[in-house]
Amino acid sequence: MNAFHPPLRPTPPHAFPAVSPQTITPLGSSAYKPSALGFPLSADDVTAQVRVALLEDQAFNDVSTLATVVSDRHVRAAIVTRRDGVVSGIAMAVEAFRQLDPHISIRVDADDGTRVRAGTPVLFLSGHARGILSAERTALNYLQHLSGIASLTWRYVQAIEGTRAQILDTRKTTPGWRLLEKFAVRCGGGANHRLDLRSGVLIKDNHLAAIGGDIAMAVSRARQLAVPGTPVQVECDTLDQVDAAVAAGADWVLLDNMTPDRLRDAVQRCAGRCVTEASGGVTLDTVRAIAQTGVDRISIGALTHSAPALDLGLDFDGL
């Protein structure tokens, strides 16, 4: 079993326009429960994480809303995209509104993984204004950040279309948000690298520096200590290291900061005996040239640590 979770084959986002069926959350029902694309949190985890976010924002003590909006004011509103992108984070946004007011009625018009154009409604909301207003920022924080990751991932996926390479994320995630951010990468059509330090062996340059650079010993020790079937990967800065990793029986080589010519040479040296992954300084301007070297995977830390938020906003009907 491959311990780099989940499986590497990505799922492309739904095409324009959004075609996911509408999901109605009627009055008094439980919150939206996603299943597509391997949403990583249980209903209890969603509830708990969103609760922390709402408490952080003091959303249950929203003095601005309490001072200005009468308690029985009923409104209709929609969360709308301001730019083209890919949606992610629906469950978290829905839960934010539900916790502020369980009687809010919600319709989901663009599910996770849906490509949307600017001006597309994602959620329709109907209920008391106070609950909608007090949950607005928390809901948008989830949607904007996760949709930003999904949208950036999709741009990289498009950039390498027609090559054999796949786009991967890294462990460069926001503490506490890793599962959601890696889910957002899948929403954008990318795939996930190892989830954590236990789920796969990655022998990096500092590991090798600590043992005098002995790749054979490092791979051998990894085979002895890791759970059988766990993939063993070696980070390589030079072609000599690539040769050593292949000779040691590594399953995977990470080709760090190599030029396209050197990547092409490394791929030939591996000759199908192990998975090849390019990493380090990958940008939208360079990713296609990297993919055309024949590497199997391209990992990009920027997908999660530097993705710009997708611009979405809450609009009240008639305002």
Question: Catalytic amino acids?
Answer: 137, 172, 204, 235, 256
Contact yes or no for 219/235 (Cβ under 8 A):
no
Q: What interhelical angle do 239-248 and 215-225 show, nearest 10?
A: 40
End-to-end C-alpha distance for the chain, whole angstroms:
54
Contact yes or no for 187/88 (Cβ under 8 A):
yes
Residues sharing a CB contact under 8 Å with residue 197, sequence separation 6 or more, in sequence order: none
Give the 3-state secondary structure of residue 80: strand
DSSP 59: G
How many whole angstroms separate alpha carbon 20 and alpha carbon 35? 13
Contact yes or no for 174/304 (Cβ under 8 A):
yes
Select from 210, 267, 207 the least CA-distant residue to 234: 207
Cα-Cα-Cα-Cα dihedral of 88, 58, 172, 85, to 10°?
A: 20
DSSP 310: P
Q: Which amino acid, residue 147?
A: S
Give the 3-state secondary structure of residue 235: strand
CB atoms within 10 A of CB 9: 7
Size of the chain, expressed as the number of residues it contains: 319
Contact yes or no for 82/312 (Cβ under 8 A):
yes
Can you read off the two tokens belonging to residue 163?
């090559």
How many whole angstroms separate alpha carbon 4 and alpha carbon 193? 6
